[in-house]
Amino acid sequence: MKIHKEGRRILFVTLLVLLALNLLVFNFNKGADLVNRLFAGATVIVFLLILQFFRSPFRHLFTHEDLLLAPADGKVVVIENVFEPEYFNDERKQISIFMSPINVHVTRNPISGMVKYFKYHPGNYLVAWHPKSSTQNERTTVVVESDAGPLVLFRQIAGAMARRIVWYVNEGDEVTQGEEFGFIKFGSRVDVFVPMDTEIKVELGQKVKGGATVICQLKVK
Predicted pLDDT at 32 = 76
Q: How do the domains of the chain map onto residue ranges?
A: 2-56, 67-217
Q: Decide: 140 and 109 in contact? Cβ < 8 Å.
A: no
pLDDT tens digits, 79-134:
999 999 999 999 999 999 998 877 878 889 999 999 999 999 886 656 555 555 56
Predicted pLDDT at 208 = 95
Q: Alpha-carbon distance 108 to 180, whole Å?
A: 4
| 216 DSSP 8-state letter | E
Residue 162 pLDDT > 60, yes or no?
no
Predicted pLDDT at 21 = 86
Q: What is the mean pLDDT of residues 152-159?
A: 89
Which class in CATH covers the domain with range 67-217? mainly beta
| 170 DSSP 8-state letter | -
For the chain, how far is it from start to end, CA to CA, in angstroms? 40
Q: Alpha-carbon distance 153 to 137, whole Å?
A: 17
Q: Decide: 98 and 74 in contact? Cβ < 8 Å.
A: yes
Residues 6 or more apart whose Cβ sits within 8 Å of residue 177: 61, 63, 64, 69, 109, 110, 111, 112, 211
Burial class (CB in 10 A: 0-12, 13-18, 19+), 8: exposed
How many distinct helices (H) and strands (E) make up the chain? 3, 16
Q: Which of 13-27, 123-137, 166-180 bottoms out in mean pLDDT, i.e. has the lowest?
A: 123-137
Q: What is the mean pLDDT of residues 148-155?
A: 93
Predicted pLDDT at 134 = 62
pLDDT tens digits, 50-81:
776 777 776 766 778 899 999 999 999 999 99
Q: Decide: 114 and 172 in contact? Cβ < 8 Å.
A: yes
Q: What is the mean pLDDT of residues 5-28?
A: 81
Predicted pLDDT at 60 = 67
Q: What is the mean pLDDT of residues 24-32?
A: 78
Predicted pLDDT at 46 = 83
Q: Using alpha carbons, list the distances in angstroms from residue 5 to 59, 151, 185.
A: 17, 30, 11
Residue type, 68: L
Catalytic amino acids? 188
Q: Decide: 120 and 176 in contact? Cβ < 8 Å.
A: no
Residue 137 pLDDT > 70, yes or no?
yes
Of residues 30 and 89, the one with the higher pLDDT is: 89
Residue 153 pLDDT > 90, yes or no?
yes
Predicted pLDDT at 142 = 95
On average, the pLDDT of the chain sits at 84
